[in-house]
Amino acid sequence: MIHVLQSFHGIKKDAALKIFREDLMNLIKNLSVNLESIGIDDRGWGYIDFSGADSEVLTEIIRGKYGIAPIDIAGLGVGDVTRGIVVDSTVGYGIYIDIGLRSSGQKDALYPLHAIRSQLADGEKLPLRQISKHFCFQEGFPLEVRVTGVNIESRKIEVELSDRQVSYFKDWTRFPFDRVILTGCSKNDLEKALDLSDLRRDIADVESISLTTHVLICKLGTDAPGVISRIGSHLRGVKAWAFQPRTPWMGRQRS
């Protein structure tokens, strides 16, 4: 059995299983494998058990698309890049990230405030709440992280964003497009909601950063809060946040 780094946090299990199964069926359609079980664990992560001649091939496909959970802290090393989701950004000294550890005494990883400031705020001593609000680091938000510290005895893990993840957020601030971040729906449901709310002409692109988290890139002149108000009635139960790069958030207006 493989626990994958695809979270369905906050989604009803039946809906999550449907999304997960449909995506897996696309992955295996040309492979000789049998899906023996598909499930969602108690913290919202997907798992899968399979067999067949192409099992090793499917394992590598899963590793590349979703990532495979490390399970135990002993399997982590400094420099490892893995995936996780935000579970708490309210503590003030950092963001706690669930990276899929499933053994007894499991711990979430800490993305400490000093690293957050260095990577995302040009080193400015901004409060965590301000940075988290700007980048929409809400519960369930997926992130790619690099392990920077592991203490097996105390079961403490520290991480920072991977270079690729930092570059992704730098693009958010570099370009003058509002973005809408949505968690809790499939891409198909989101596409239907865009049509029903007549928003196609206002959206430049749809990026899926997980099976259930998506980013709408607004065209110039389209504001994210307006998109949220129009699409919300067609995505019941889906959480949405607005990212607005032109909003001054570091004590000065960016050009």
Quick one: pLDDT at residue 104? 61
Q: DSSP secondary-structure letter at 219?
A: P
Percent residues over pLDDT 90 in the chain: 81
144 touches 156 (CB < 8 A): no
Per-residue pLDDT band at 254 (split at 50, 70, 90):
very low
Residue partners of 192: CB distance under 8 A and separation at least 6:
234
Percent residues over pLDDT 70 in the chain: 97
Say whether 135 sits in a helix, a strand or coil.
helix
Quick one: pLDDT at residue 253? 40
73-170 and 175-243 in the same fold: no
Residue ranges in the chain assigned as alpha helix (H): 13-28, 55-65, 113-120, 128-135, 163-174, 187-196, 224-231
Q: Is the pLDDT of residue 127 over 90?
A: yes
Question: Which of the listed CATH numbers 3.30.70.260, 1.20.1050.10, 3.30.420.40, 3.90.25.10 matches domain 175-243?
Answer: 3.30.70.260
Nearest to residue 72, comparing CAs of 3, 173, 162, 148? Answer: 3
Per-residue b/e over 79-94, b at no fewer than 16 CB within 10 Å? eeebbbbbbebeeeeb
Residues 188-205 have pLDDT tens digits of 999 999 999 999 999 999
Quick one: pLDDT at residue 17? 94
Quick one: pLDDT at residue 255? 36
Which CB contacts under 8 angstroms, 24+ apart, belong to 185-191?
185/212, 185/214, 185/235, 185/238, 186/19, 186/22, 186/211, 186/212, 187/211, 187/214, 189/235, 190/214, 190/235
CATH topology classification for 73-170: OB fold (Dihydrolipoamide Acetyltransferase, E2P) (2.40.50)
141 touches 106 (CB < 8 A): no
Residues 92-124 have pLDDT tens digits of 899 999 998 877 666 799 999 999 999 999 999
Cα–Cα dist 137/50, whole Å: 34
Residues 132-164 have pLDDT tens digits of 999 999 999 999 999 999 998 888 999 999 999
Quick one: pLDDT at residue 208? 96
Per-residue pLDDT band at 79 (split at 50, 70, 90):
very high
How many whole angstroms from its chain centre is CA 77? 22
Other C-beta atoms closer than 10 Å to the C-beta of 117 total 17
Token representation of residue 111: 């993305």
Q: Is the pLDDT of residue 252 over 60?
A: no
Ordered strands of the 239-243 beta sheet: 203-208, 213-218, 179-183, 239-243
Q: Please spell the DSSP secondary structure of 172-205, one letter per residue.
A: HHHS---EEEEESS-HHHHHHHHHHTT-GGGEEE
Quick one: pLDDT at residue 4? 94
If you average pLDDT over every residue of the chain, what do you get?
Answer: 92
- Per domain, the residue ranges of the chain are 2-65, 73-170, 175-243
Say whether 168 sits in a helix, a strand or coil.
helix
Quick one: pLDDT at residue 70? 83
Per-residue pLDDT band at 228 (split at 50, 70, 90):
very high
Per-residue pLDDT band at 251 (split at 50, 70, 90):
low
